[in-house]
Amino acid sequence: MLDIRLIRENPDMVKENIKKKFQDSKLVLVDEVIELDKQSRAVQQQADNMRADRNKFSKQIGKLMAQGNKDEAEELKKKVTEQAEMLQKLQEDENRLQEEITKRMMVIPNIIDPSVPIGKDDSENVEIEKFGEPVVPDFAIPYHTEIMEKFNGIDLDSARSVAGNGFYYLMGDIARLHSAVISYARDFMIDRGFTYCVPPFMIRSNVVTGVMSFAEMDAMMYKIEGEDLYLIGTSEHSMIGKFIDTINKEENLPYTYTSYSPCFRKEKGAHGIEERGVYRIHQFEKQEMIVVCKPEDSKVWFDKLWKNTVDLFRSLDIPVRTLECCSGDLADLKVKSIDVEAWSPRQKKYFEVGSCSNLGDAQARRLKIRVKGKDGKYFAHTLNNTVVAPPRMLIAFLENNLNADGSVNIPVALRPYMGGKEIIR
């Protein structure tokens, strides 16, 4: 959510930002917010004047009573009573106007960073850099579920009977590999100075609307029937919610966490053949990284975060590239975002395995995450990035480490988490 002063003072800039995100239907919201804000401030001024008059009358009543002028005192009391009723009405009007302003402000997109490329959708995202040499072996690589099935490592049919489409059973070496990747990612981030955390896996609605846009919420979140609780789509939701309505000491920043959680997502819409198996599912596990920092530090932390993911994948012999998300592909709260994509030898192309986002003060403003500095209070900046999500990581891992005889190599870094195994057959 933007600062109301920014909309008051720079409406053309806010409108231009909306156009860059190809959301022209939202342009009218800027004018509506300005008009409602004008009305709200007028009502507030009227209420303030009335409160000042009431205080003045109260003092006069006391003096008149002390002087024995009861009739005049009673007349003033009537005025005070009348004003109290009018003041109540003004407060109701003020609350109503503020609700209308907030409703519109919540859907006006955040101001994107000047470096963000302008484009309508993810087809116009821009490749930045490649890390590692993508290799296509001289033997055919099966679809990832076929590789897993040869290890008796996945059961989609039973999962479909138990929970429906979008779920799976992992077993044996594949299940162990899944857990090994999560454990390795946890220790990788701890070694880089991040504090490990396991957060709540459910959050209240005020946290949901604080960390994401309404469109994202509708497309992703599962609601717990009869309760004000949602299953998290990523541990970022819980971790940023941890700071709701707090005033943090500037000297304690930044807060850097790496958090583990299961994640639950609706994943609405039809998906192509490459998104079968464990690519796009309703339940998975993920290691995340979260930073809460001073505004002037968020750009530096943004680069540190996506580089962590690149380094982790390269330590497991998986080639990756970074992709700058264009304006139309950015969620409304994001200032800037970079996707990390892993190489798929089978598809002969890269696919997304992580996303790094700088949200500026958007989440902090919604959740009232403030910092107390030497010059007063201000809103923190929040960032998040995927360390690793094993379902997609497993696809990249298996394809890039598969041998012609069907065995899979275990990179040196992962062997301690696989009981010392160098290869699985």
Do 99 and 128 fall into the same domain?
no
Evaluate whether residue 114 is within a structural domain: no
Split into its structural domains, the chain has a count of 2
Which pLDDT value is given to residue 73?
67
Q: Read off the pLDDT band of 1 (50, 70, 90).
A: confident
Do 84 and 129 fall into the same domain?
no
Do 94 and 32 fall into the same domain?
yes
Do 166 and 86 fall into the same domain?
no
Task: Encode pLDDT of 194-233 as tens digits.
Answer: 999 999 999 999 999 999 987 788 888 999 999 999 999 9
> Which residues are within 8 A (CB) of 351 and not within 5 positions of it... i.e. 6 or more apart?
274, 279, 341, 342, 344, 392, 395, 396
Do 71 and 185 fall into the same domain?
no
Inform me whether the pLDDT recorded for 59 exceeds 80: no
Do 231 and 291 fall into the same domain?
yes
Which pLDDT value is given to residue 62?
67
Evaluate whether residue 116 is within a structural domain: no
Inform me whether the pLDDT recorded for 69 exceeds 70: yes
Task: Encode pLDDT of 101-112 as tens digits.
Answer: 999 999 999 999
Long-range Cβ contact pairs of 44-51 (< 8 A, separation 24 or more):
44/94, 46/90, 47/87, 47/90, 47/91, 47/94, 50/83, 50/86, 50/87, 50/90, 51/87
Evaluate whether residue 68 is within a structural domain: yes
Which pLDDT value is given to residue 255?
98
Do 134 and 250 fall into the same domain?
yes
**396, 347 contact by CB (below 8 A):** no
Q: Read off the pLDDT band of 38 (50, 70, 90).
A: very high
Q: Read off the pLDDT band of 66 (50, 70, 90).
A: low
Evaluate whether residue 111 is within a structural domain: no
Instruction: Give the residue numbers spanning the domain of 31.
Output: 4-105
Do 178 and 256 fall into the same domain?
yes
Inform me whether the pLDDT recorded for 277 exceeds 70: yes
Pick from 105, 132, 166: which residue ends a domain?
105
Long-range Cβ contact pairs of 85-92 (< 8 A, separation 24 or more):
86/50, 87/47, 87/50, 87/51, 87/54, 90/43, 90/46, 90/47, 90/50, 91/47
The mean pLDDT of 317-342, rounded to a whole number, is: 97
Which pLDDT value is given to residue 84?
78
Which pLDDT value is given to residue 274?
52
**CATH code where residue 206 lies:** 3.30.930.10
Which pLDDT value is given to residue 237?
95
Task: Encode pLDDT of 358-417 as tens digits.
Answer: 999 999 999 999 999 999 999 999 999 999 999 899 999 999 999 999 999 999 999 999
Q: Read off the pLDDT band of 270 (50, 70, 90).
A: very low
Q: Please state whether the peptide bond connecting residue 411 to the residue before it is cis, i.e. omega within 30 degrees of 0.
A: no
Which pLDDT value is given to residue 219?
83
Which pLDDT value is given to residue 330?
95
The mean pLDDT of 166-180, rounded to a whole number, is: 96
